[in-house]
Amino acid sequence: MAGARRVKRLQETVVLRIFAALSFSLTILSSSANAAGLQLLDADPKLKGAIWTPCAKADESVPLGGLAITGENSLPGVKDCPIKGTKLPLIVFSHGRGGWFGQHHDLNEALADAGFIVAAISHPGDSFGDDAARESLSTWASRPADIVRLTDFMLNDWNGRTAIDPDRIGFFGFSKGGYTGLVLAGADPDMQRVAQYCTQANPFCTQVRGGDTPTSWTHDARIKAAVLADTAPSTPFTQPNLAAIKIPLQIWRSELGGNGADPGGTARVADALPGHPEVHTVPAAHFAFLAPCSAELAAAVPRICANTPADFDRAAFHRSFDAEVVRFFVEHLAGR
């Protein structure tokens, strides 16, 4: 009888969560699409980025000012738009090695339009225009701490913090941001395994082989669900250290990899993750997960804008990609 009651309660919980996610989706679908509100963060050098919010106004273009990068001087949105809604889920973003806070802006906008608040920063020392620590082991520890700092700011100091539901926080990470997400979710990187594969004659490998590595790692139990795209590096993660992860995951991996992403490694990690994560494989290379490029960005940084294979339609893929990520977060955060 007790077992039957537990099964019944589990069934009721699943039904309630599905109903909540469906209700949330129908609410979003029944409203017309609007621009995302966009608030720039530039007062604190450790928190340079932007916040996207649900907004009831028409789309505009927001100049980035001192936050602009080569080829990107503005982003779509409505500057400092009043937030539409209350008790909203929060998604924090972590970009890839040498990336920047706006590299997934289409997904950020889609999430904001679906009723999420989104926050992203450029990681200090490992971002476009700030590569002081890019080749250093220090970023392996500082990146998760950066996201904790961002989350703390959003919940405690941001002027729109009362619109956030602190019990519904999600994470998105691409490339080294995927590494960041696995650490935040509970995995301690296996640095001895990294040392075995680190054969290059550079300061990073010298430090790793010498055992001069972090003794503790930053985790964040406030994160309740995560989407990870083409995690790189994948070497530090194995089934034993990934077993500590207890949250729902949606995994995206490219078949062709490149630029630090190893298709074999991302497949191995996906197979080793606990809890039967949702896994998507994309017939393209690593940079397919970056937002489709403007003509200006393609001219300025063609390396990240060229599609591999050449006939891969990044814009069409992102329509599906963005929708699937939104669906996942609605399913796992809307019903909490």
Domain count, the chain: 1
142 domain-assigned: yes
Quote the strand ranges of 60-115, DSSP E. 60-63, 74-79, 88-94
Q: How many CB atoms lie within 10 A of CB 30?
A: 7
Domain interval for residue 117: 31-333
297 domain-assigned: yes
In a structure prediction context, what are the per-residue pLDDT tens digits for the chain, which is 336 residues long?
444 333 333 333 333 444 444 444 444 444 445 689 999 999 999 999 999 999 999 989 999 999 999 999 999 999 999 999 999 999 999 999 999 999 999 999 999 999 999 999 999 999 998 988 877 889 999 999 999 999 999 999 999 999 999 999 999 999 999 999 999 999 999 999 999 999 888 888 998 998 889 989 999 999 999 999 999 999 999 999 999 999 999 999 999 999 999 999 999 999 999 999 999 999 999 999 999 999 999 999 999 999 999 999 999 999 999 999 999 999 999 766
172 domain-assigned: yes
Measured CA to CA, the distance from residue 77 to residue 52 in angstroms comes to: 8
Measure the CA angle with vertex 214, ends 209 and 216; round to 5°. 145
Largest Cα span, the chain: 67
Q: Which among 317, 308, 300, 216 has a CA at the least distance from the CA of 263?
A: 308
pLDDT of residue 132: 84
Beta strands 49-54 and 60-63: pairing type? unpaired
Its pTM stands at 0.90
Domain of 209, CATH number, reads 3.40.50.1820
pLDDT of residue 266: 98
pLDDT of residue 25: 46
Unique residue bearing structure tokens 């500082």? 142
Q: Which among 270, 175, 184, 182 has a CA at the least distance from the CA of 223?
A: 184
4 domain-assigned: no
201 domain-assigned: yes
Half-sphere exposure of 167 (CA within 13 A, CB side): 4
311 domain-assigned: yes
Measured CA to CA, the distance from residue 156 to residue 4 in angstroms comes to: 43
9 domain-assigned: no
